[in-house]
Structure 1
Amino acid sequence: MRSENVVHLTRMAGVRASSMAVCEEHGEYRATTHQVLNKVFQSPCPQCKAEQAAAQQAVEVKRQRNELAWKLGDSLIPKRFKGKTFESYAVTSEGQAKAKTRCQQYADDFERHLDAGRCLILVGNPGTGKTHLGVSIAQQVMAQSTHTAVYRTLGGILQSIRATFDGSSGQTEGHIIESLTRPSLLVLDEVGASKEAPSDFELSRLFSIINGRYEKMLPTIVISNLGAKELPSAMGERSADRLREGGVIVLPFNWESHRGKEVL
């Protein structure tokens, strides 16, 4: 391209020069001026622009979380568990200390686990703090990022799906499944809670959720009072196989229950 054409196009674009400008809030910054026809425009303060973008992002994150909570028919984290954080988890044994550290690491490295679709399984004795730590991960993920995290029990999910069958709930089964395969993180509690063998209905719906998240490479935290070897029978081998992809992390909670004490 000839040099005179370059000069002509530059003038058409309206780029004049860069100079120092003053923002009332942030002070001096280097601005670029542009001329379009007879009007001169100055680039805004980069700090103001970044703050405005961050504010708009925060509004959008809140909108998405509110929309997801509405679809779930409740908040992302139930009211009872709002206070369950890593800070409120009291450690009284070596096992608890190790479990808390591993769960904290999972939350701290969530971006890496999200990229890998890596799931986390918390299994073992009831009343040992599994739910507390699972919810703590979800709380931190939402507090420190733009991601969404949802806590639900398997029994509650199945009950919601059954309520759609007569059309009185205002939701559809697909609607409920979609709301559980959409969040960045799903904490799925009380898997295998029933003493009876799971029905085909339970296994198929659970697989729809686990597989839907597997296809999107979204991690799931599964919480169960069963042992690691018992869990596949309770949730179905197909679902268990999906969880193993990406290098699943399994944490056993094999100390005595402290339910009713401060640690929970």
Structure 2
Amino acid sequence: MGEILSIDEVMKRASQQALTINSTNDEVDGGLVDDPRYEPEPCPYCGRMLKHKAYSLFGRLFGSHLEQCDCPGAVAKRERLYQEQLKRQQEEELRQRMRKIERLFDQSRLGKRFRDRTFEAFEIRDYNRKAFEIALDYAQNFGRYKEKGEGLFITGGYGVGKTHLAAAITNYLIQNLKGTVIFGNVTTLLGRLRFAYSDDSEYEETQILKELYDVDLLVIDDLGKEKPTPWVEEKLYNVINERYENYKPIIVTSNLGVEEIEKRLETCGGAIVSRIIEMCRGVKIMGADYRKEKIK
């Protein structure tokens, strides 16, 4: 949005502009002049008679307006109108921001459950404090990490907060309009791609792949949990390699270590793991499953 100017400032700038034009062009008339076409009117606050003014250019009058009074009542009214205009603009900017955030959430495919997985809602413990600090720093300084194509590879057992941290980064980036994100496990990320081959799909394979290639941050949750068919491995490798070659960061979470992932993904596991190691900073969380603690 442009700069908001008070009415006084608008008139001051317009007058200065008219005088500047007049000083640089001898054929231009006297700039801001009294407009004889209208009778003076009293100020509703102090009663002072106010003249109508217009801009004189080449013998013609343009932009006729009543001059402004500088009495306290008139000044207060102009300030009130300015503040009302400013409030309307701020409200509209907020509406536009919220609409954009909602579109980003729709694009991210982040499930409703994970929209509550924020940094504020994360339960910090001794064993996950370092991982929390790394994830928060990554979100707050995403622009720097994005430029380098650097991501995170978060590993650990069940229920230690890996997915929560990945979702918290996603939520932070979207809420603060820091970038576009797509979040999902391999099955959901490639599910739309598989559906593209059906007659009912409204998207082509190239469109879906382009999304996965171009999004600012791709979050692959629970890598190694999917059924490792050759087709899945090939497409997963294509996506990761495309992002690797173009410095597009990824975040990967997994219950498995790199050697276990490599063994599980028999066809392309070595190449996939090699790319992840080069692209991502390793973050390991060692702790108990907090879900089990809740039912004790």
1:23 counterpart residue number: 6
Superposed counterparts of 1:120-135, under 5 Å: 120-135=152-167
Structure 1 residue 237 corresponds to structure 2 residue 270 = yes
Deviations 1:211-243 (A, max 9, x none): 222233121001111013323343622233333
8 A contact 2:213–2:239 mirrored in 1: yes
Measure the CA separation in 1 of the matches of 2:152 and 2:130.
15
Quote the offset at 1:148 in angstroms: 1.1
Match of 1:107 among 132, 136, 139: 139
1:221 counterpart residue number: 251
Measure the CA separation in 2 of the matches of 1:193 and 1:137.
22
Question: In structure 1, the residue corresponding to 2:127 is in which secondary structure?
Answer: helix
Quote the offset at 1:149 in angstroms: 1.6
Q: 1:204 to 1:65 in 2, by over 3 A?
A: farther
Measure the CA separation in 1 of the matches of 2:95 and 2:215.
17
Quote the offset at 1:161 in angstroms: 2.1
Deviations 1:170-204 (A, max 9, x none): 2222222112222211111121004x6x2221111
Match of 2:120 among 87, 95, 103: 87
Larger Rg: 2
8 A contact 2:258–2:273 mirrored in 1: no
Q: How many residues align?
A: 225
Write the letter of the residue equivalent to 2:235.
R
Write the letter of the residue equivalent to 1:220.
I
1:187 counterpart residue number: 219
Q: 1:96 to 1:67 in 2, by over 3 A?
A: closer
Measure the CA separation in 2 of the matches of 1:155 and 1:193.
9
Write the letter of the residue equivalent to 2:115.
K
Unaligned runs of 5+ in 2: 22-27, 29-56, 64-81
Quote the offset at 1:79 in angstroms: 0.9
Measure the CA separation in 2 of the matches of 1:209 and 1:65.
25
8 A contact 1:192–1:226 mirrored in 2: yes
Write the letter of the residue equivalent to 1:180.
L
Write the letter of the residue equivalent to 1:66.
R
2:31 counterpart residue number: none
Moved more, 59-68 or 212-221: 59-68
Deviations 1:131-165 (A, max 9, x none): 00001011111222341122111111232222222
Runs (4+) off by over 4 Å: 27-37, 55-65
Question: In structure 2, the residue corresponding to 1:259 is in which secondary structure?
Answer: helix
Structure 1 residue 78 corresponds to structure 2 residue 116 = no
Write the letter of the residue equivalent to 2:153.
I
Deviations 1:74-95 (A, max 9, x none): x542111110001101123x21
Quote the offset at 1:260 in angstroms: 5.7
Superposed counterparts of 1:151-190, under 5 Å: 151-190=183-222
Write the letter of the residue equivalent to 1:236.
G
Measure the CA separation in 1 of the matches of 2:100 and 2:129.
36
8 A contact 1:155–1:190 mirrored in 2: no
Quote the offset at 1:68 in angstroms: 8.6
Match of 1:207 among 231, 237, 258: 237
Match of 1:138 among 161, 165, 170: 170
8 A contact 1:61–1:146 mirrored in 2: no
Measure the CA separation in 1 of the matches of 2:240 and 2:210.
11
Quote the offset at 1:57 in angstroms: 11
Measure the CA separation in 1 of the matches of 2:174 and 2:9.
35
State the TM-score, normalized to the length of structure 1. Answer: 0.70
